[in-house]
Amino acid sequence: MEECCSTKPKKKEQHAHDHSEGDGHDHSHDTGDKTPFQMFLPAIISFLLLLIGIALDNYIKTEWFTGWVRLVWYLAAYIPVGFPVLKEAYESIIHGDVFSEFFLMGIATVGAFAIGEYPEGVAVMLFYSVGEVFQGMAVSRAKGNIKALLDQRPDEVTVIEGSQPKIIKAKETKIGDIIQLKPGEKLALDGKLMTESASFNTAALTGESKPDTKTKGETVLAGMINMNSIALVKVNTAYEDSKLSKILEMVQNATAQKAPTELFIRKFAKVYTPIVVFLAIGICLLPYFFVSDYQFRDWLYRALIFLVISCPCALVISIPLGYFGGIGAASRNGILFKGSNFLDSIAEIQNVVMDKTGTMTEGVFKVQEVNIKPEFNKDEILKLVNVLESKSTHPVATAIHNYAGEIDHAIPLENVEEIAGHGLKASVNGKELLVGNFKLMDKFKISYDTNHSNIVYTLIAIAYDQKFAGYITIADSIKSDAKETVENLHRMGVKATMLSGDKSTVVKYVADQLGIDNAFGDLLPEDKVNKVKEIKAKNQTVAFVGDGVNDAPVVALSDVGIAMGGLGSDATIETADVVIQDDKPSKIPMAINIGKQTKKIVWQNIVLAFAVKAVVLALGAGGLATMWEAVFADVGVAMLAILNAVRIQRMKFS
């Protein structure tokens, strides 16, 4: 069986940058449980006092609104929005981060008060605070969407004790307990279905709303919703170890894996902010030596404008939000990214290398023909093959078991050995039994008269007592969206390559049906590694897509490891970089598209922020921009960037 499931240590070492590492801009924007009115209340108070103050200054001329009365009035307008920012600035300085955005806003607005520009000082802080609230709401909404999407577990479950139903907390449920699930109820823990059959809505796990019918003994997972009749489920996994718990934890931790763009912006902000502060000091003081009519107040005002404009808030908030939006959009479509770095990586993919079985085909084999030579007893040989194949987990073994019936455990198998890329070998009553591909026959020098290269089916060759006994043909059906997948990849300019351990004629047949660029069969795991190395040698990026546990070397080489069948194997969730939860290959180009759109939005924000700031900084330094332009360059650009970043969560990718 072919598959993708190992993660490259080099990728996993991109640890999250702790908030205390001195970048100071990485504040949480946590809105807690506050209502929008509570969040905006300080800004509303400040805004009303500011409006009255401006009216008293310009429209309702009064003698009393001067001197200290005017100062106190504007201070009262400033404190509701200014105090939290000044407090953050102080705490950042205490923790060794002097040049934070809070510090920039603090000295700019306090400086405005120092030169008597009270309304502008209040206005700058007011708009900055409103921007912070909007940012907090956007971040919380993005996180809330993902949590609501994935954390579908109910708090209580109904367990059967004796013959009586009893409601208990889901966390108190023990392995072996029987849960009673009524129609419309969500399953809280993973388990095995005890009822003959039941239909489940699996949208929480796969993004696929079509009902999935399970039969007795099959695995059902936390988050699935029972559709029709009462079902009984025997719990086989602890609450915290359920598939959904792992998925939820993975997505919530996804932002810890920072994308290179994100890491660069953080490092840039750490260097950029102190430079801006010293430039502002220079703008204020240096003209004294070069300008004949130097006015300290005018140049201080220009320096303060320069500080407000230079605040890097738009970049530092909108870029992580853009990546988080991408992770959320992917989750909503049943695609799980382990981190924002993989959104960046997948956007650059030039080659998708895929397995055949279980990735582009259903992985559900059916026996087509049993061709056993006359000198052998067909039923006897089938019994031997059935019992030997029972030692394998390959889908071929299931097909043979379904065809041959019950396994005869009385058959004395000895020295069972799996030969990678070839098949199985064992001894029965002192005679050698070989079951596998024709390479296995060649390896053990078994002569055969079958021209197997012309047969467009998977072939299982059999040898018993050093003689070729015949073969079984097995067919696997192509997934309904496989052809569309390859077409979409080609539209994106991505090449598709199929690598398989299956025989070359079968692989070529499937590849031709799907329009795949290159296809190679009869490959051992090391052959696959060499094929991927050949692609990498051309300086091209590779994503590897698989569904099993034995292609770790190929995944280690690939830039992005994509696991199909996330619901089937815990190992895939643990180790793949990207997990496609519903086995649909059409999610491969969708994942690439989400990566591309996320990167596009992030770069739009970077260009927007730098372009606007560069223009207004130049105008501010030259005395052509006021505090109002400065407010737009900081808060306005931040708001535009945030709205752009949130846009990805509303995009349709299907």
Helix (H, G, I), strand (E, B) or coil at 400: helix
CA-closest candidate to residue 239, choices 291, 325, 171, 300: 171
How many helices (H) does the chain have, and how many strands (E)?
A: 22, 22
CA-closest candidate to residue 5, choices 553, 559, 587: 553
Structure tokens at 226: 């029972």
Catalytic residue among 355, 502, 577, 582, which?
355
**Phi first, then psi: what are they for 451, rounded to 5°?**
-90, 80
The amino acid sitting at 600 is: K
Active site residue 355: yes
Structure tokens at 577: 């970089």
Edge to edge, the sheet with strand 458-464 lists: 361-372, 467-478, 458-464, 431-436, 423-428, 413-419
CA-closest candidate to residue 225, choices 239, 208, 240: 208
Q: Determine the angle formed by the axes of helices 587-621 and 296-310, rounding to 10 degrees.
A: 180
Distance CA 588, CA 463 (A): 40
DSSP assignments along 202-259, one per residue: -HHHHS--S-EEEETT-EE-TT-EE-SS-EEEEE-S-GGGSHHHHHHHHHHTGGGS--
Structure tokens at 308: 């407000």
**H/E element, 199:** strand 197-201
Distance CA 331, CA 225 (A): 18
Q: Each residue of 182-210: b (16+ CB within 10 Å) or e?
A: eeebbbbbbbebbbeebbbbbbbbbbbee
Helix (H, G, I), strand (E, B) or coil at 644: helix
Sign for the CA dihedral angle at 498, 502, 505, 509 comes to: negative
State how beta strands 164-169 and 178-181 pair: unpaired
Structure tokens at 60: 């309702």
Structure tokens at 403: 């065809």
- HSE-up (13 A, CA, CB side) for residue 121: 25
**Residue 266 CA from chain centroid, whole number:** 21
Sign for the CA dihedral angle at 122, 124, 125, 130 comes to: positive
Residue with tokens 């699996």: 202
**H/E element, 540:** none
Do the beta carbons of residue 186 and residue 149 sit within 8 Å? no
The catalytic residues are 355
